[in-house]
Amino acid sequence: MIEEILLGQDEQLTKEIPLGRAEGSPQKTPLGGEESPLGQGFVLGDVTRIEVGFFRHEMNLEEVLALFEHEGEAAKGDESHVITLRGQPVETVPPSEGVKYSRVSLRAIVPADAPSGVYRFRRLEAQTYGGRKVPFDESTQDRWGRWRFLVREEPDAPPTI
């Protein structure tokens, strides 16, 4: 998996940037990487999307979920400040020796009650056909830990014709 993900408005993908500052120009991080601005972000009603092109699994999966939580202090432990992207995996090649290979498009509409601010990745899990929720492996969770997106206030500009 590459170090970037695609998050974007429906049918108009944008390149998501590994964790960085919400505004300003790129800065160096303590580990030598580069933090970058989040970009324009999303407003209420926008579709966010992550394309996962390839992953391995053994169980039959009904759904994959990626949970992003608002960074604000008021959001701690409040599920109303979580945006969950969901998708149904599609097998890309026939299973081999019990291992399946799939891709998934995770999507969510930014809900009307989502507070503006930065939403940071918290958890990636799969739901099996048996009903279990199984977290993805630790190395995947660590890589996804850099990812986030911005939800902006609704614009005030009136519609025009």
Segment 1-15, tens digit of pLDDT:
333 344 444 444 333
pTM: 0.74
**pLDDT score, position 74:** 52
Q: Greater confidence, 43 or 13?
A: 43
**pLDDT score, position 146:** 84
pLDDT at 45 over 60: yes
- Strand runs labelled E in 16-135: 27-28, 34-35, 47-57, 61-70, 82-87, 90-96, 99-109, 117-128, 133-135
Q: Greater confidence, 40 or 74?
A: 40
Residue ranges per domain, the chain?
6-151
**pLDDT score, position 5:** 42
27-36 pLDDT, tens digit per residue, is: 444 434 444 4
**pLDDT score, position 53:** 86
